[in-house]
Amino acid sequence: MARRPGKRGRVGRPARKVANTHRKSRDRSRRLHRSAARLAEKNLESGREAHDFEDLLVKSLAFESAGGAYKDISMQDMLLDLTKSGRKLAYNYGFTVGTGVHSEDPRIDALFRTLEKFGLGRVLYQPSQDSLIITARESRFVPLAVGGYVHVYEAGLIAGYLTASVGRRIAVRETHCIYNNSSFCQFIAQPSGREADYGRPLDAGVVIDTIAETIRNLPAQTGVHSAERGYYLLPTLPLLKSPLVDEASKLLYVIGIRIAELGRRDEPAATIGKIASYFDMANAQLLSTRGNRRIIRLKYKHYNSIDQLVKLSTSMVIGYANAAFDSDAELEMHTGKDSNYVVRIRLAGGREQT
């Protein structure tokens, strides 16, 4: 019978002791978030490596209860899942995060809280003699049919946590996925002495259309809740490593073109706002200058003012602008008074699509 984590070991404990335990965990989580926010403001906007910030996020994953607004991380997952090397990178990066979460809190509750924060919702687990089945039936992801198993990063995270827990190599693979015509996501964990099965890469054409339609269908105002920003950023970090960041930038440029092709009748300013919102920028403006020249102005927040992340997001905006306005975009980037990145994209010539 499937069980809900977090109940064992609490029967018969005095109510005061339980309350004190929850209070200490909550207070520690708040301190970690404040520290992570300070590091983000000091380090991330400069484009430097963020190992200390990653460590603090892992600590927060282990101790904070899930909840609050959540941003769908399907773009990061799907971009990593397009190639065998990308899937392997995602799995191994998740594996490292999983071992880090275990080092902070070895109780199984920490693993399931982490999975819930990454959008898998309420998690159930079913142990057997030689395997562990983990099922998420209340995923906060929007089900999209991409014809493959998307959550290889999460599979690696589970594997890392369980490997650290039992002291032997555990391999995890996803067997059901809401992105592959299933109503739930399910993982199976088993001991293995061989390299993990990273699964079949996704079809690039399907991924391009899926992300393009997802952005076009966004409401006017979206974004990441302040308490969830770190969890949005953490799975994105593998994409920021060379040479993957260059390949991802090219793909996002193509997705921008596809957004323009699919939305020929869409209002350009609104579409640019949706792209900006998808990447949780502070704001985006489509401005006109003398001679009817257009400028797109993008402003980023502290936590996402990272060179490589700005490169990824502006690639999509430039792809859209070049296709929508039949123009050649010129990029200018600088830091504002508050140390946040500000990007200006000048559109040379061209005309708006009709």
Note the pLDDT tens digit of each residue in 105-136: 899 888 988 888 777 878 898 988 889 999 99
Mean pLDDT across 93-114: 90
Predicted local distance difference test score (pLDDT) of residue 349: 64
Predicted local distance difference test score (pLDDT) of residue 127: 87
Q: How far is CA 210 from CA 79, 262, 263, in A?
A: 11, 11, 14
130 CB-near residues (< 8 Å, 6+ apart):
190, 191
**Confidence tier at 257 by pLDDT (50, 70, 90):** very high
Which of 186, 165, 55, 56 is CA-nearest to residue 115? 186
Query: Is residue 309 scored above 60 in pLDDT?
Result: yes
User: Do 104 and 55 touch, CB atoms closer than 8 A?
Assistant: no
Query: Is residue 308 scored above 80 in pLDDT?
Result: yes
Predicted local distance difference test score (pLDDT) of residue 224: 45
Give the whole-angstrom CA distance, residue 252 versus residue 107. 39
Pick the CATH number of 242-348 from 1.10.1280.10, 3.40.50.2300, 3.30.1380.20, 3.40.228.10: 3.30.1380.20
The CB density around residue 344, as the number of other CB atoms within 10 Å, is 15
Q: Which two tokens stand for residue 321?
A: 């602008």
109 CB-near residues (< 8 Å, 6+ apart):
5, 6
Domain with CATH 3.30.1380.20 in the chain: 16-202, 242-348
Note the pLDDT tens digit of each residue in 47-78: 434 455 456 555 555 555 444 334 444 677 78
248 CB-near residues (< 8 Å, 6+ apart):
79, 239, 312
Report the percentage of the chain scoring pLDDT > 90.
31
Mean pLDDT across 237-245: 77
> What b/e sequence results for 2-38 when a residue is b if at least 16 CB atoms lie within 10 Å of its CB, and e otherwise?
eeebeeeeeeeeeeeeeeeeeeeeeebbeebbebbbe
The residue assigned the tokens 């640019």 is 272
Give the whole-angstrom CA distance, residue 199 versus residue 21. 40
User: Do 198 and 242 touch, CB atoms closer than 8 A?
Assistant: no
CATH architecture of 16-202: 2-Layer Sandwich (3.30)
Mean pLDDT across 281-294: 84
Chain centroid offset of residue 347 CA: 30
Predicted local distance difference test score (pLDDT) of residue 354: 45
Predicted local distance difference test score (pLDDT) of residue 120: 82
**Confidence tier at 22 by pLDDT (50, 70, 90):** very low
**Confidence tier at 29 by pLDDT (50, 70, 90):** very low
**Confidence tier at 190 by pLDDT (50, 70, 90):** very high
Mean pLDDT across 198-219: 89
> Half-sphere exposure of 24 toward its Cβ, with a 13 Å CA cutoff?
6
Query: Is residue 198 scored above 80 in pLDDT?
Result: yes
Which of 322, 325, 223 is CA-nearest to residue 274? 223
Note the pLDDT tens digit of each residue in 146-167: 889 989 999 999 999 999 999 9
Mode of pairing for the β-strands spanning 132-136 and 328-335: unpaired
Lowest mean pLDDT among 70-74, 196-200, 286-290, 342-346: 70-74
